[in-house]
A and B are shown apart, each in its own frame.
Chain A
């Protein structure tokens, strides 16, 4: 049973108080975060007051919510009224939202305690959490390596056991890839399952919020709390939220696991290939049927994805104009210069590069060749998955071609950084649900993750297969030395 479930049960029953849970959590943060820089902000007084309120609620005879007293970190592109939401950007350095994101209110209503905000690549654009106003986050398994990104802070907060759960956002792999690099569970729900209200938009047709946890049963409980319909996000789907955590032991015998040989071909490191293949064998041993599938347009996914993501980013980030909120340049010559200089000084290198590429792909003369072409290829990719899911229940594949890479290794080579997302962008392009979970360690002792993908709104089956894999393996129980103090 996972830490989230355990903690909530202890606080609900009164065996322990939310105040004790949260005090211990703050102690771990103070000891460990200086080594990894996962959190961009936290506030002891507010956190202790929240915990006291939960304990008082219980003392007054009221029953507590599903996440009673569970400390949670939230990525710093998810709006909170009680602290800054910086997106790791100078342009939002002092921004305090006037409202909570839907998921934040859901956590609070379930009696969770939001202890702080997690570091990220600026505006969630990156795969390494190196591009942040607050400095880079480090991998707790080896602090010379990146934790992955863009949700590196929330991933590391869980991997170093400062908290037992966190929320990230996933536009092309930004939950699953850091989960893989840090040895934790990362779930990207189906597009439309979780409201994006209060998530600072990057690629609106791709973005989705999801949890990091150390175990699949915890992830199922977290999803139960944050999923649901919200009229303030027009892409939020009005469909009942199943009790995911009670369907985890649904039998996996006879479930068909799709495997695409092309996902195991060139570009994949040997350590990762072997571990993922062994994980698939474990499912076969558990009674699953392994079926070959074909994804004919796989090799075009990265190009399609980056065109769409950058085009959407260039539109979404047009709102940062130095007028309503955010950074404004000191001495603008005129209105046009105020826009251009505020944006030029406020955005970092990777964000500017993506705005430039997106604007180019949308500009007159290039729109058809790049943006529209990418959308047509997106349909073909989605049709590949529609066909594949007629033949299988879940698809198994790697999360990333390698384990965590060295800090600085890809900083001057944006294309190499983009190509490392080759296994994760499918789920965002096609609106699938997908989960990353630990399946081994490489020769250097770095965690390896594998990925299971399900059809849109197929979370119940996805989570039950993943949970039963964890029942027969112990990779997810390993912790970095840093978490031992």
Chain B
């Protein structure tokens, strides 16, 4: 696959990742990501027809357990590392604007 990683694509990916990047970083990533993905294109040499993807080296199955109440973190513990909290809740900036709330 021909790689055409340009500044717009870098900005698009940064938005998907919810990652603020500066204009300097955008320019740097254009070059670095292009070079790295050009290298990754090496994989195209390999014929993978009829090969199943391998997500884990071990055969992994879902492990189920009874849904019973067990000891867990208290509200205070759960909030202990929160940047902002209020009366037992995590506090975040307003999600909806005034009119629609």
Residue numbers in B under 8 Å from A429 (CB-CB): 57
A356 near B13 with CB under 8 A, answer yes
Q: How far, in whole Å, are A297 and B93 apart by their CA atoms in the complex?
A: 50
**Cβ of A456 under 8 Å from chain B:** yes
Of the residues A297, A327, A415, A432, contact of B39 by C-beta under 8 Å: A415
Report the Cα distance A95→B80, complex, angstroms.
Answer: 9
Assuming the A-B contacts A304-B43, A324-B81, are A344 and B57 also in contact, with contact meaning beta carbons closer than 8 angstroms in the complex? no
| B58:A431 contact, CB within 8 angstroms | yes
- Residue B13 contacts which of A325, A347, A359 (CB distance < 8 angstroms)? A359
- What is the bound-complex CA distance between A343 and B18, given in angstroms? 7
Please, which residue of chain A has its CB at the minimum distance from the CB of B53? A375
Partner of B54, one of A318, A356, A376: A376
Specify which chain B residues have a CB less than 8 angstroms from the CB of A352 in the assembled complex.
19, 21, 25
Chain A residues positioned under 8 Å from B81 (CB to CB)? 94-96, 98, 324-326
Contact of B80 among A96, A191, A373, A456 (CB under 8 A): A96
Q: In the complex the two chains form, what is the Cα distance from A401 to B15 in whole Å?
A: 37
B68 at the interface (CB under 8 A from A): no
B61 shortest CB reach to chain A, Å: 9
Choose the segment among A135-143, A253-261, A331-339, A473-481 that binds chain B (4+ C-beta atoms closer than 8 Å). A331-339
Residues of A within 8 A of B82 (CB): 323-325
- Stretch of A13-21, A160-168, A378-386, A461-469 at the chain-chain interface: A378-386
Judge whether A74 is part of the interface by a CB distance below 8 angstroms. Answer: no
Binary CB contact string for chain A from 336 to 379 against chain B (1 if under 8 A, 0 otherwise) = 11111101110100001101110110010000011011111111
Give residues 42-63 of B contacting A (CB, 8 Å).
42-46, 48, 51-58, 60, 62-63
CB-contact partner of B46 in A318, A338, A377, under 8 A: A377
Identity of the chain A residue whose Cβ is nearest the Cβ of B19 in the assembled complex: A343
CA distance A334 to B20 in the complex (A): 13
B87 close to A (CB within 8 Å): no
B69 at the A interface (CB under 8 A): no
Q: State how many angstroms separate the Cβ of A379 from the closest Cβ of chain B.
A: 4
The answer for the CA separation of A324 and B81 in the assembled complex, in Å, is: 7
B10 cross-chain contacts in A, Cβ below 8 A: 356
Q: Which residue of A lies closest to B35 (CB)?
A: A415
A306 contacts across to B, CB distance below 8 A? 36, 40
Checking A98, A235, A337 against B73 with a beta-carbon cut-off of 8 angstroms, the contacting residue is A98
A82 interface residue per 8 A CB criterion:
no
**Could you tell me if B57 and A191 are in contact, using CB atoms closer than 8 angstroms?**
yes
Contact across chains for B20 and A300 when beta carbons are under 8 A apart: no
The chain B residue with its CB closest to the CB of A233 is B63
- A-contact 0/1 string along B1-22, CB 8 Å cutoff: 1000100011001111111111
Return the contact of A344 from the options B21, B44, B48, B62 (Cβ within 8 A): B21
Closest to B91 in A: A323
Identify which of A231, A325, A326 gathers the most chain B CB atoms within 10 Å of its CB.
A325
Instruction: Tell which of A237, A340, A363, A456 touches B18, judged by Cβ atoms closer than 8 Å.
Output: A340
Cβ A303 vs Cβ B94 within 8 A: no
Contacts of B20 in A (CB 8 A): 337, 340-341, 343-345
A235 touches B56 (CB 8 A): yes
A303 near B33 with CB under 8 A, answer no
Q: Is the CB of A375 within 8 A of B55?
A: yes
Docked pose: A297 CA to B62 CA in angstroms:
30
Q: Are A378 and B94 in contact (CB under 8 A)?
A: no
**In the bound complex, CA of A205 to CA of B53 (Å):** 13
Check A303 against B43 for contact (C-beta < 8 Å): yes
Identify B63's interface contact among A234, A375, A377, CB under 8 A. A234
A314 at the interface (CB under 8 A from B): yes
The reply on A408 being an interface residue by CB < 8 A is no
Q: How far is the CA of A430 from the CA of B58 in the complex (A)?
A: 8
Q: Is the CB of A324 within 8 A of B40?
A: no
Name 22 interchain pairs, CB-CB below 8 A, sorted by A.
A191-B57, A235-B58, A304-B43, A314-B17, A322-B83, A325-B82, A328-B83, A332-B93, A334-B94, A335-B95, A339-B18, A340-B14, A344-B20, A359-B13, A359-B17, A360-B5, A360-B13, A373-B43, A375-B54, A376-B54, A415-B35, A431-B56
List residues of chain B with CB under 8 Å of any chain A CB.
1, 5, 9-10, 13-22, 25, 29, 32-33, 35-37, 39-40, 42-46, 48, 51-58, 60, 62-63, 65, 73, 77-78, 80-84, 90, 92-95
Apart from A205-B56, A303-B40, A355-B19, 8 more pairs, CB < 8 Å: A303-B43, A306-B40, A321-B18, A359-B13, A370-B40, A379-B53, A382-B54, A415-B36
